[in-house]
Each structure stands twice: as structure tokens, then as C-alpha cells.
Structure 1
Amino acid sequence: MALIALTGASGRIATALRPRLRAAGHRLVLCDAPDAVGDALRDVDPATERVVEADLRDIDAHASAFAGADLVVHLGAHSDERPWDEILAVNIDGTRAVCEAARLAGVGRMLLASSVHAAGYVPVDSPRAREGMPLPAPDTYYGVSKAALEAIGGLYAGRFAMTVVSARIMTFDDRPGGPRSLQSWLSPDDMTRLVLAALTTGVPGHHVVWGVSRNTRRVVDLAPGLAIGFDPQDDAEAHASEVERRDPSRPPGVLGGSFADTAYVLGEPHGGTRPGP
């Protein structure tokens, strides 16, 4: 069927996507930095997968890797807070390089992994979250990089007539881990549905959507995703009793959770405290 290129192929999201996309009949190009491949990509299926080792900012290497692809799924990035120079080099310059490589390779569709942290200071009870899509309100340097990713996606969609989906991924995991994730969970199966929507949507242009499952306690709007054919099916409520038994605390009042807390130090991995969802 389709040829799909994944950046950040050794990461958690790509690792969950790979068997699901292969089962749907798709072939994959797995792109990651040489020092990131290692053990994470030892289970490559040579019949359906090809590995490309390249720095995220290497435009020529990625343009070659993307040749013939129907969709580029850009997942490569630092996935939490880092010093500004590291965020700039990998998350911002890397995104621009991937988009330029896709353009040079003639790829007409991209799915870019944005984050809820691009809008981390939006209150969970805000009408801006519940209806439509709020403007960026980043909570960290990491959040700024994801707002920049959305802007770059919009540029490439507008200037080069590409179809670009920027997905504000909320809490991706096998199952919800805490009270906040009962609102924000994105299941692996629904992440796969999001990729397939970006692959098949007939709506051109740039689209910012929430990467979230159909959770009963969801505080964001599914309508932007539904408009491109992303119809999530899973619900964190199936895990609610287990989550609440383990942690009965209330979820935070802003979308970014602990990333938006004043104790979360800008430029420090995990805010200098602990990993956030």
C-alpha cells in the first residue's frame, strides 16, 4: 500500500506505530540519528522496513530517504525540556530540515508531532480548549519549539501546496497513568488512526488537531481532527478505577500540567524535578 517515512523511529511513539502500520499493509522508512538507532531498531522487518541513519538536520540524507514516500511522520525531537540551544538545534532547526527534505523529495503530505505544551497555559475549563483550537500558549522552551513546528508546517502547507497536519499530542502511552491522563490520554491505536487520517485526508492545507483519544473526561475538541478524518475510538474511562485507586489527586487546572508550574525550571530536563506526562 503506502510508503510512510518516520523520523524519530527509535522513539516510543514510532515503536508503537510500526507493527500497527505494517499490519495495515504499509511499508516504512525508519529514520533516526546514528547514536539513537542501536537496540531500538533491531527487530526490523527487511520485507517492509528500511533503516536510514542520519542527523535530523541533514536535509540531503532525509530527502533521499523520503524519495517515493506518500507521507512523512515527523516524530524526531527532544521530548521534554532542554537548554535553549539544544531545543533550537533539534526541535526547531530539525523540523525545518525535515520539512525541506520532504519538499525536495516531492512528498505532498506530512504529519508533524506538535504537543499539548504548545498550548500549556490554556486553562482546562477554557472555551478556547473545548471549542476549536486555541492559539499557542507555550509553557516551556519545549512548548515554544512545538509552536514553532506548527508555524513551519503552516509555511510549507501554504507556500508549497502540501497537506500538513500538526498534531498536538497530549499524553501518549499504552494506558492512562494518572488523573490528568484520564482527560488527555492518546492510545497507540488512536495514534495509528491519526497517521492514517493524515495519509488519506482529502482536505488540503495546514491543520492543527489534538492528538487525543475519545476520552469521557476529555477537555479539548475533537472537531479539528474529525475534519481531516481522525476519529479516535479509545476511552481512558475504561482504566479510570485503576488510575483513581492508585492516585486520587485532582488533575491540574491548565493543559500543560506540571510543565506550567512555576517550580518547573526552563531549560532543565524534566524541569529539574521529575518527568511530566
Structure 2
Amino acid sequence: MTGAAGRIATAIRPLLLEAGHSLVLCDAAEVSAVTPGERVVRADLRDIDAHVAAFVGADLVVHLGALADERPWPDLLAVNVDGTRAVCEAARLAGVDRLLLASSVHAAGYLPADSTAACDGMPLPAPDTYYGVSKAAVEALGALFAGRFAMTVVSARIMAFSARPVGAYGLHWWLSPADMARLVLVTLTTRNGGHHVVWGVSRNTRSHVDPAPGLAIGFDPQDDAELHAAEIERSGPAGSPRLLGGVFADADYRLGEPHGGPTAPR
């Protein structure tokens, strides 16, 4: 698991351990609260040799390492694009033929939330930022390695990951830790080879996106943000997002400058 010090990895690690799996935690940053069944590898995301050594013997690589917000283009290119290529190459060299890649809703953030393209099937990329472009590149790398090297690769367009839905848009976009863990386990067991782009979102009553691509590989999320609707709506009516990218697609959101927050989709 790359990006093991990050918030998604930190939240799902206990769930994967509980399911009986051993974890190799890869990150350049310090990984906290390491428990039995976990091993830490400190490495830069672009260090292919270090990741080959870490991945040998693994059944699945979960690639969460990334800059998870808008940044200057050279930073996103170095980490999100070059880093993903290095991880894919390391998995191939280590003999791991299954990959879960963390893409983002921002790879398609300029789509109207209520459009047919957004609500039916899986749309082509429509990035809303340089960050969104970098995640579209992650998907393209996944397709390349799946096609050229007969790997099973799932690119998850993660929406709004958090322990509980945050803000009004969270009722539409929430991805729970339990459902993220389910997606990891499905990628480990699915019999559908090749490259699959799926929505990383829970089974929210107000969701705008189609669960069918995920269901096709066995991803059947169970959590629903609607259980938290009364609490969220006490602070005001819950509006519906105009575009999938939310604030990232706003005209005053300047390219290359960090601007995300806890209410923005990932």
C-alpha cells in the first residue's frame, strides 16, 4: 500500500487487517500506529527499486500515494504521474498482477452532475484542474499496464472520503472507510481482468453517479450518507452540486494553487 501515512490508508488499515490480510506500508513519510501484521517501507514514490523489493510476494498493490489537491503542475507531474508510473512498473517487475489506483472525481469534474454522461455508465475524462489532469493520467497508466502486461487494474474515481459525510455535498459524494475497504477486497478477488474505471463512492441515496461499473467487478457499497442527513441539514438546506467537481470547477479556482478542503471531493 503506497501513501500509507495518508488519511485513506490510515482509516482502512484496521479493516483490512481485520479481514485477515498482512500489509506492507510504503511511504516517504513516517507511518504511525504500526501493528502486528504490518511492515513499513520508507521510500520515495518514484523509487522503483525500493518498491519492487516491497511488492515481491504481494497479491495486490493499493496505490494511494499522491498529492490530493491542486498544486503547481511540476509537483503534480512528479508525484501523481511519475510516481504512479513508477509504482505500476515496480508492481510489474515484482510479479504483482493486480493494482488498485486512486483516481479522483476531478478527472471528470467538469461534467454537470445531472447529465446523462455523469449518471449513466462511466464518462470519459473531463478534468477540472491540473490535479484532475494528473488523475486522468493515472487512469491512462492503469489502462496501459492492464493492456500491455495482462494485469487487472481498477482505477477508482474517489469522491469524498471521510469517516462521516461532511457538508451538504457529502450527502451526494461520501465514500466511507468500510466501502473503501470493500473496494480494495473486490480488486483482490474480482475475476474480471483488464482495466476498470469505477466510482469510489458509497451507496448514497442522493448519489449522481452510476454504480454499474463498480457492480460489474463486484463492488457493492453498503453505506448511505442519508443516515446522517438530519444532522447535516440542521445547518441549512442541502443543495445539489452543479458540476461533479464542486468548488474545483468554480471559475475563481485558480489553477496550480491549493484550494481544497474537507467539503471538497477528493
Q: TM-score, normalised by structure 1?
A: 0.93
Aligned 8 A contact 2:170 2:263 in 1: no
Higher relative contact order at CA 8 Å, sep ≥6: structure 1 or structure 2? 2
Alignment of 1:252-267 (within 5 A): 252-267=241-256
Tell me the distance in 2 between the aligned counterparts of 1:28 and 1:17: 11
Partner of 2:101: 112
Aligned 8 A contact 1:118 1:146 in 2: yes
Shift of 1:42: 3.1
Partner of 2:33: 43
Which of the numbers 62, 69, 79 marks the counterpart of 2:68?
79
Tell me the distance in 2 between the aligned counterparts of 1:190 and 1:111: 14
Percent same amino acid at aligned positions?
Answer: 72
Aligned 8 A contact 2:202 2:224 in 1: yes
Given residue 90 of structure 2, which amino acid in structure 1 is its aligned partner?
A
Aligned 8 A contact 2:162 2:177 in 1: yes
Deviations 1:207-238 (A, max 9, x none): 00000000000100000000111000000000
Given residue 195 of structure 1, which amino acid in structure 2 is its aligned partner?
V
Tell me the distance in 2 between the aligned counterparts of 1:220 and 1:245: 26
Which of the numbers 186, 193, 196 marks the counterpart of 2:175?
186
Aligned 8 A contact 1:270 1:276 in 2: no
Secondary structure, counterpart of 1:56 in structure 2? coil
Aligned 8 A contact 2:45 2:83 in 1: yes
Is 2:8 the partner of 1:18? no
Cα 1:169–1:195 change in 2 (3 A) is same
Tell me the distance in 2 between the aligned counterparts of 1:112 and 1:61: 19
Gaps of 5+ in 2: none
Deviations 1:96-123 (A, max 9, x none): 0000000000001000000000000011
Cα 1:274–1:203 change in 2 (3 A) is closer
Aligned 8 A contact 2:160 2:263 in 1: no
Gaps of 5+ in 1: 1-5
Shift of 1:252: 2.2
Is 2:111 the partner of 1:122? yes
Secondary structure, counterpart of 2:41 in structure 1? strand
Cα 1:181–1:106 change in 2 (3 A) is same
Given residue 147 of structure 2, which amino acid in structure 1 is its aligned partner?
G
Is 2:88 the partner of 1:93? no
Tell me the distance in 2 between the aligned counterparts of 1:105 and 1:95: 15
Shift of 1:275: 7.0
Shift of 1:251: 2.8
Aligned 8 A contact 1:178 1:247 in 2: no
Shift of 1:84: 0.4
Given residue 43 of structure 1, which amino acid in structure 2 is its aligned partner?
A
Partner of 2:264: 276
Which of the numbers 118, 132, 152 marks the counterpart of 1:143?
132
Tell me the distance in 2 between the aligned counterparts of 1:108 and 1:219: 32
Tell me the distance in 1 between the aligned counterparts of 2:68 and 2:172: 20
Aligned 8 A contact 1:119 1:134 in 2: yes
Partner of 1:242: 231
Aligned 8 A contact 1:71 1:199 in 2: yes
Stretches of 4+ moved more than 6 A in 1? none
Q: TM-score, normalised by structure 2?
A: 0.97
Aligned 8 A contact 2:101 2:142 in 1: yes
Cα 1:25–1:126 change in 2 (3 A) is same
Shift of 1:248: 2.1
Shift of 1:249: 4.8
Partner of 1:3: none
